[in-house]
Every structure is written in structure tokens, then in C-alpha cells.
Amino acid sequence: MVQVYASSVIDASADNVWTRIRDFNGLPLWHPAIADSRIENSQPADRIGCVRHFHLRDGGAIRERLLALSDYDYSCSYEILESPMGVERYVATLKLTPVTDGGRCFAEWSAEFECAPGREQELSETIGGGVFQGGFDALKRHFGGR
């Protein structure tokens, strides 16, 4: 099992950041690597079990199922159903925690998955550095943060 973890501090309240990232169908609105997204079978994007089908800017198509969504914990978990990345049993969680001194929040994005031997490092870097940190960087550009 490979584990990837990235975290950051965003200069906006957890409420504000959550409003931007809560929509399971909203990745193209805030994440620079995502080109488009739709929810399969016309389900609402906050129904647990719904599937989002999206394309990366480099063309790859990914299907992910929403496993958990908590407006109380500011957290969202999902699994990959299909992707060109070559990962198995991929489960990820994106979570915000308020920082009480200053209107900031602490953002964490973590994933666990299995993959072919020898690809662990490359996939960790793509997912942790590209997808997760890329998302944080976009949020920091939008809200501020260092």
C-alpha cells in the first residue's frame, strides 16, 4: 500500500475554502489540471455514491466515486473506479481544518493505493506533487497563502 500526503495553509477561512471545493463536480472550476467534469446518471453531486467522470487537461479520463462528504468536518473521500494511471484500490481524502489564530485553514489531501512494483515513487510524485500540491497552489493563488 502506497500512502501519499500533502498539506498546506490557505489564507481563508475553512468555510470559504470549503465553498470552493465542496462540489464533487466542481474540480474544473478550481483545479488547473482538470478540463471538464460531469456526474453520471444525473445524480446530485453531493449524493454519497455518485460518480464523477472527468478529463485531465492532458486528455486522460477518470471516474471516481464519492465515498464520504462531511460539511461538519470539511472533508470529502472518494475512490477511483477507472483511470489511466495504473493504480488499484485508490482512496483519497481532502480535508480542511480551521486554524483558530487568524482566519486561515489547514488543508490536507491524502491517498492510499496499490500499484505495480517500481512505480511507487513516480506515482507518489505525480499524485502528491502534481495533483494535490497543484490544487493547493491554485487555492493559494485564489485566496492567498504562503
CB 100 to another protein: min, Å: 5
121 to 140, contacts with another protein by CB under 8 A? 128, 133, 136-137
5 binds another protein (CB under 8 A): yes
Binding mask 65-104 for another protein (x = CB under 8 A): --------------------------------xxxxx--x
- Apex CA 97: angle with CA 91 and CA 103, to 5°? 145
Task: Judge contact between 93 and 83, C-beta under 8 A.
Answer: no
Contact call for residues 16 and 142 (beta carbons, < 8 A): no
Task: Confirm or reject binding of residue 108 to another protein (CB under 8 A).
Answer: yes
